[in-house]
Every structure is written in C-alpha cells, then in structure tokens.
A and B are shown apart, each in its own frame.
Chain A
Amino acid sequence: MEEILRCEKISKVFVVKDFLGINKRKVKALQDVSITLNKRIDLGIVGESGSGKTTLAKVLLLLVRPDSGSVYYRNTDLTSLPDSKLRFFRNNVRIIFQNPYKSLNPRLSVEKTIKEALFPKKTDPGMIEEILIQTGLPADYKHKYPHQMSGGERQRVAIARAIAGSPECIIADEPTGNLDATTEVHILKLLDGLKKTLGLTFLFITHNLKIVVSFCETIVIMYRGCIVEQASATQILKYPLHPYTRVLWNQSSFINPVEEYKDREGCVFLFGCPYRKKICFNLQPELKEKEKQHMVSCFLYE
C-alpha cells in the first residue's frame, strides 16, 4: 500500500467570542485525530453536523493550521513548512467544498476560475473546454459567472477546478450536501467516473452513511471532534461496533438527545449512548483495534 496523506494526533480548538468580546467559549473541533489515506483506497468520513469533518479537511490541506499534531504528505511533514513551500502538495491534493454557492468567487468567470487551477500552467488552448466536458458541462459555459448557474452546475465547476491540477487525491467535503436528490446522484456518478478515468483517490466526507458505504473502501466515523470507529465498509455495514454508528445506521429506532456543546469530562457520546457505564462519565475511551483493521473507541469493548 502506498501512503499518500496521513495525519497524526491533530487537535484544533476554536475560541468563539460573544458579541462584545468579553466572554469566550472554547470549541474542541478536533481531538487527537489520526487518519491515513492510501493510494487507490478511498476513505470516507462520516459524522453529523458540527462533528469537525470540514475542519479536518481544512487541516489536512493546511488551510487551517492545527494546534497540535502533524500532517504528512508522502512522508514529508507539511506542518513544519510555510505556506509558500506547499505548492507541490497543493497541486496534488485538491478539495471540493461543501457549499457550491460559497466556494466559487462570484467575480471570476468559469474560464478564469479553472485557468487559475491549471497545472502545469502552460497548456494547450482547448484544455479548459476539455475539462468542462469531462465534468459534464457544455464548453461554452466557460463564459458564465457563478450567479448564472445552478447549484449542480456550480459544483461541477468546482469539480473541474479540482481536477484541473491533475491531482492524485481529492478531498470531497460533502460535495452533494447542498444539492437535491437527483443532482446528488448525477454528481456522485460523475465523481465515480472521474475516479476511474483519472485514477484518483478520494477522501469523501459526508453525513450520509449509505452513500459512503458504496463509494469508499474504508470508513471513519466522527463524533464531536473524535474518531469513534474506523473500519472497512463491509465491517461497518455488517458489524457496527460503536453505539453511535448503530444510531447512524438506524436513526429512527432511537432518538438522539441533543446535548448543548460543553467542554466536559467523559465519553463524547455519553449523553446519546444507551449503553453508558460508570467509567464513561469520567474518561474518553481510546481508539483501539477491536478486531483486525477495525478500530473503535468505546468502553464496551475493553
């Protein structure tokens, strides 16, 4: 297995101020997160809103610097490098953002948007049209501006921008999160096709477990900034271990009480967990290998 991207023990805390800047609140967006992305093995990250998925994606790309922990790209430590030295990495790992209404610069035409992302910079004239057609858009769309396109079309432009650097890996942060069901299917098909034709590796972020199981080989489940379970798609499908994963699979069987965000002791899933034990109130369980290639963080299995 050829390792592309790896992060180790990433933590990120956001300090949120109130409107006068007097009272501060800390949000632990990521706590000791470690993942590895291997070539040709797509990794899916699943979690509910606010679980830190987007933050993880941004940290992996060094768009947000982590408070602690390191990110490695092909065994080079990126966290020690300044932004200006990250060029080679930026062309090889690209991102598709969650919200196509926000991720395109409203003042740039499609052509300019893609041109900026091209790598190598000097390319033959038909390149942009080619890329557009690859993403299922007509070639004359290059003259359009973001506000003249639908959400699905914008997301295709965002995808075009991502593949324009001929990357080996794409981080897709809920690429269909803001789209309707039919468009979602089209976009997923497109991504799947590109994966095969361009030989891409995906890090696929979503809140929908069902999509990711069919799209990815390995799956990571996150909850409130922690990885609670990590296994292959089949294992997650057949033998989900963590109580939260089971909730995700069958949400109607059990109503997950919403806990207001607070910095507190104990397991992150404590309040939603029907199996909680005494120890769960005091400690956060570590992520341990329960079975072969199946990691879980829960005291039930210790």
Chain B
Amino acid sequence: MRKLLHRLKNHSRLAYFSLWFLLVFYFASFFADILAPYHFDHQFRNKPYHPPTKIHFFDSRGHFHIRPFVYNTVVDDPVFKTYREDHSKIYPLKFFVRGKERKIFFFFKTDRYLFGVDQPAGIFLFGTDNYGRDIFSRLLYGGRISLSISLIGVFISFSLGMITGGIAGYFGGIIDQTLMRLVEILMVFPSFYLMLSLRAMFPLNLSSIQVYLLIVLILSLIGWAGLARIIRGMVLSIKEEDYILAAKSLGLSHWKILLFHIFPNTFSYSITAITISVPGYIIGEAALSLLGLGIQEPYPSWGNILSSTIGNLRVLGDAPWLLLAGIFIFVVLINFNLLGDALRNVLDPKNW
C-alpha cells in the first residue's frame, strides 16, 4: 500500500493531491457536527435567500481589526429579498464557539463548533436557502449522506459483481450463461430510466432512513451488472494462467482457488474500477434527490439542496449560490476521475 502511494506520487502529483483532497473532503463531512457553524435544520426565519455573508477586516470608519468580523443584516426589500448591513455593531468571528449541543454519531456529544458569530448576526459562507438555512452547513452535512451512499453503494455492487462475475467466469457453462444473460438484461436499460422505474416500485413517502437504504439498494442493483461482466472477463483470462492450473494441480478446492488465487489477481483492476465508479453513484443519488425522489427535507443531500431550483427560473436568478452544491459535486467528481485515471496507469502491469 505504501509502495502504491509512492508510485502514485511519482506518476502524477495532481492525482496524489486529488487523493488527499478527497480524504479531506470525506473527513470534513464526517465531522460536519464540529465543522459546520449551524445545524442543518437551523432556520434564520428572517433571512431567507440571504447572499453569502461578507467578512470584513475594516469597519465602516476605516479601522482595521485583526480579528475578522461580520455585520448583522436586515431585510431591505422583503419582496426581492435584498439585505442591508447594519453597521452599528460588529460581530467578530469566533473559533471553537459554544452553542447548542449536537450528537456526533449517536455516541459523543459536542457543544463547541469550529467557528461562528454571536446571534442575531449569522455567518453564511455560501448564503442561505428559502428557509434561511445556512447552505455551507447543509453542504457539509449533505456530504455525509451523499458520500456515504456512494461508498456503501459501490461496496455492495462490487461485492455482488465480484461474486457473480467470479462464479460465472470460473465455473463457466450453464451458470455462466444464465448469470450473464441476467446481467445483459439489466444492462439493456439506460440507468436513469431503470433507476426511476425501480423507485416507482416503492411508495413516494418513506421515512428518511428507508429512503436512504432504498437509494443504496437501487444504485447498487444498477451498478453491479457492469462490474460483474468486467470481472467475469478478467476471471476468464486469469483462470487460463499457468499458476491457476498449478494451484489446481495441488488439489486445492475451487473456493480456495477463487479466493486466494483468482480474486487477489483482480485486485489492481478492482481498485481502479471502484475509484472510477464512485462518481456514478454520487450522480445517481444527487439526481434522485434533485427530482424529489431521494433524500427528503429537512435532511440535506447534495442533490436536494438544488431541488428548489428545478422548474423555477426565478429562484436560480435570485439565489445563484444554491449552485454551489453543484460545484461541490463537480469538484469531488473531477478528483475521483483524476485519481482513477492515475491509478489505472499506475496499476497497469504494462507500466511496471
């Protein structure tokens, strides 16, 4: 593993950077409870569609402050939702502020967050949405859902694909034929249509945990077929190798051969395949939530933060900062793609 990292670094600095970047991203959403200035459903009722808060170093009289600060804002025009800064009082930015207690992963509790300002002022790095909720905080919390769904989804479909592809490729014959026909039939459908149709199998109003599991289920059901096919192809070529025949000639059982001789040799491909298939799951979840079929309010996900923009031109025109969720997705995807490409090159035996 260390060697792999080293090779990756030598191959492409950019991809190495992507790896760290993604790790930081995952880390940040994992610890959203500490990093986010507000809880995901904390509403500033008098501040809907608030633009990103300006952070100042100079006050209105031109004095410099070492500690950056914000002003409280008041509604200027209630119809067009424009805000005006109230220069009478400054609210300095504070680190490790105390606030309402939040639970971190059901076990630990914290009442300190990384940063914040005193009420009634608010610090909205990326603005607020129609309920006056801080979008930055929602993005961090949403990342927890979007990123975990993609990882669990990839994990499930990869295990499924590995098992079916491995069995089909190794045993061949009728097993192979039936499994592959099944896979082909699943692959006949464009995934978006299949995804929506599978969603139609279930009622629209489900509890949030049910929806979460459902999305994971749907995404992995769609994803495993392609992986199974590729892994079958690999197993098919690996099983003709002399070292597999050698293992067979030692009298090892089929399962041992599959587990210890064939699967480990698909490893380098698997790493690459996992990396480049994660984006598909992120997009899948985002698409479902965007269309209102996935994660439901008040829980945030990268998809449903954008969903208020669908079918309403005005919203987007007035609050373009909602698009930041899209930029989050884009940044994560491009890093996954960079990393996946580099891994493919690094792990390709031809380049050793």
A contacts B: CB pair < 8 Å: yes
Residue B11 is within 8 A (CB to CB) of chain A in the complex: no
Q: Would you list which residues of chain A between 122 and 168 have a CB under 8 Å from chain B?
A: 158, 161, 165
Q: How far is the CA of A270 from the CA of B248 in the complex (A)?
A: 38
Q: How far is the CA of A86 from the CA of B253 in the complex (A)?
A: 10
Residue B62 is within 8 A (CB to CB) of chain A in the complex: no
Residue B242 is within 8 A (CB to CB) of chain A in the complex: yes
Q: How far is the CA of A84 from the CA of B254 in the complex (A)?
A: 9
The segment from B23-31, B80-88, B261-269 that touches chain A is: B261-269
- Report, as a range, how many residues of chain B touch the other chain: 10 to 19
Q: How far is the CA of A175 from the CA of B123 in the complex (A)?
A: 74
Most buried by A among B242, B243, B244, B248: B242
Residue B317 is within 8 A (CB to CB) of chain A in the complex: no
Residue B204 is within 8 A (CB to CB) of chain A in the complex: no
Known: A107-B264, A107-B265, A107-B267. A102 touches B241 (CB 8 A): yes
Residue B249 is within 8 A (CB to CB) of chain A in the complex: yes
Q: How far is the CA of A95 from the CA of B245 in the complex (A)?
A: 10
Known: A105-B261, A105-B265, A107-B267. A99 touches B242 (CB 8 A): yes
Contact between A161 and B246 (Cβ–Cβ < 8 Å)? yes
Q: How far is the CA of A90 from the CA of B245 in the complex (A)?
A: 12
Contact between A87 and B251 (Cβ–Cβ < 8 Å)? yes
Residue A91 is within 8 A (CB to CB) of chain B in the complex: yes
Type the 1/0 row for A106-126, where 1 means its CB is closer than 8 Å to any CB of B: 111000000011000000000
Residue A97 is within 8 A (CB to CB) of chain B in the complex: yes
Contact between A63 and B247 (Cβ–Cβ < 8 Å)? no
Q: How far is the CB of B241 from chain A (nearest CB, A)?
A: 6
Type the 1/0 row for B177-200, where 1 means its CB is closer than 8 Å to any CB of A: 000000000000000000000000
Main secondary structure of the interface of B (DSSP, over half): helix
Closest to A158 in B: B246
Residue A94 is within 8 A (CB to CB) of chain B in the complex: yes
Contact between A97 and B245 (Cβ–Cβ < 8 Å)? yes
Instruction: From B243, B264, B267, give the contact of A103 (CB < 8 A).
Output: B243
Which residues from chain A sit less than 8 Å from chain B, CB to CB? Answer: 58, 61, 63, 83-84, 86-87, 89-91, 94-95, 97-99, 102-108, 116-117, 158, 161, 165
Contact between A63 and B243 (Cβ–Cβ < 8 Å)? no
The total of Cβ contacts below 8 Å across the A-B interface reads: 58
Known: A105-B265, A107-B264, A107-B265. A58 touches B245 (CB 8 A): yes
Contact between A94 and B267 (Cβ–Cβ < 8 Å)? no
Residue B250 is within 8 A (CB to CB) of chain A in the complex: yes
Instruction: From A86, A95, A106, A165, give the contact of B246 (CB < 8 A).
Output: A95
Q: How far is the CB of B262 from chain A (nearest CB, A)?
A: 9
Q: How far is the CA of A36 from the CA of B246 in the complex (A)?
A: 23
Contact between B243 and A105 (Cβ–Cβ < 8 Å)? yes
Known: A87-B251, A91-B251. A97 touches B246 (CB 8 A): yes
Closest to A92 in B: B251
Q: Would you list which residues of chain B between 216 and 265 have a CB under 8 Å from chain A?
A: 241-254, 260-261, 264-265
Contact between A165 and B250 (Cβ–Cβ < 8 Å)? yes
Instruction: From B245, B250, B253, give the contact of A161 (CB < 8 A).
Output: B250
Q: How far is the CA of A102 from the CA of B242 in the complex (A)?
A: 6
Q: How far is the CB of A53 from chain B (nearest CB, A)?
A: 14
Q: How far is the CA of A146 from the CA of B177 in the complex (A)?
A: 35
Contact between A97 and B242 (Cβ–Cβ < 8 Å)? yes
Q: How far is the CB of A254 from chain B (nearest CB, A)?
A: 34
Contact between A84 and B253 (Cβ–Cβ < 8 Å)? yes
Contact between A103 and B242 (Cβ–Cβ < 8 Å)? yes
Q: How far is the CB of B120 from chain A (nearest CB, A)?
A: 62
Closest to B352 in A: A147
Known: A102-B241, A105-B265, A107-B265. A90 touches B247 (CB 8 A): no
- A99-B242, A107-B264 known; 17 new pairs, CB 8 Å cut-off, are A58-B245, A61-B249, A83-B254, A87-B251, A89-B251, A90-B249, A90-B250, A94-B249, A95-B246, A97-B242, A103-B242, A103-B243, A105-B243, A105-B247, A106-B243, A116-B250, A158-B246
Q: How far is the CA of A90 from the CA of B267 in the complex (A)?
A: 29
**Chain A residues whose CB sits within 8 angstroms of the CB of B249 once the complex forms:** 61, 63, 90, 94-95
10 contacts between A and B (CB under 8 A): A61-B249, A83-B248, A90-B251, A95-B249, A104-B243, A104-B246, A105-B246, A105-B247, A107-B264, A116-B252
**Chain B residues whose CB sits within 8 angstroms of the CB of A95 once the complex forms:** 246, 249
**Chain B residues whose CB sits within 8 angstroms of the CB of A108 once the complex forms:** 260-261, 264
